[in-house]
Amino acid sequence: MTEAKIAPSLLSGDFANLEHEVGRMLHYGSDWLHVDIMDSQFVPSLTIGPIVVKAMRSHFTQEKAFFDCHLMVMNPEKWVDEFADAGANMFCFHYEATEKHMEIINRAHERGMLVSCAVKPDTPVEVLDPLVQHLDMALIMTVEPGKGGQSFRSECLPKVKYLRTRHPNLDIEVDGGLSPKTVDAASDAGANVIVAGTAVFKAENPTQVISELRNSVLKAQEIKPWAKK
Ligand code: DX5
Ligand code: ZN
């Protein structure tokens, strides 16, 4: 059984105070920290790169903080070594951003990272079929990548169900518009890794939101709705 993991997205945090933001998210009970890397080509925005991951890593050991790095960049193959050197735990690249899928997966594994491949809302999930046996995780985007605070797109969830029915032990992450209101649909489809930016960072009680997100996954895993016809 895949474990429930909650990954607050630092994109909604205070970029001038990332050590504090990582520390408080860990204190609130988050499992992973989701780090959104944008290059102004694959998506319009420009955020941070490996230098910032490295700076965060210098404050938190590998055991303490798991950095789930979501690269919304063209040609992610250029960045595998730098993210490994920076101390990233998960190297998540977009299917649409490269043709060198297997090269990236192999190199990231060689460098000791876990690897995930992400698909945008309009990309069919079947593109992952040849890759999935080599992946540690798949990321089904539930918004168009590029910014936080967008509305959750439930029409992406059949892709989660497609993967879950075929791969009971794969980590399946959803990202975009997740909150206590929308998470049940994603959990019921089979997602076990939940990214949440706005919902956690803007919450009055982030501990409670993280716990609600986790409970949604745990509840769905008891019932296994995806196993039903
Ligand atoms: C969007 C990013 C997300 C974003 C999610 O391109 O990949 O990780 O931070 O933010 P919310 O949870 O606010 O939709
Ligand atoms: Zn993301």
3-class DSSP state of 76: helix
pLDDT at position 111 is 98
* DSSP string of 77-140, one letter each residue: GGGHHHHHHHT-SEEEEEGGG-S-HHHHHHHHHHTT-EEEEEE-TTS-GGGGTTTGGG-SEEEE
51-70 pLDDT, tens digit each:
999 999 999 999 999 999 99
Q: Which residue segments constitute the domains of the chain, with CATH numbers given? A: 5-228 (3.20.20.70)
pLDDT at position 229 is 63
3-class DSSP state of 4: coil
Euclidean distance between the first and the last CA atom of the chain, given in angstroms as a whole number: 20
Ligand nearest to the CA of 68: 2
Does 18 have pLDDT greater than 80? yes
129 assigned to active site: no
Closest CA to 197 of 176, 171, 213, 172: 176
Does 103 have pLDDT greater than 80? yes
Longest Cα–Cα distance of the chain, Å, equals: 48
Known binding-site positions for a divalent metal cation = 34, 36, 70, 175
**Would the CB of 120 count as within 6 Å of ligand 1?**
no
110-165 pLDDT, tens digit each:
999 999 999 999 999 999 999 999 999 999 999 999 999 999 999 999 999 999 99
The rounded Cα 19 to chain-centroid distance in angstroms is 20
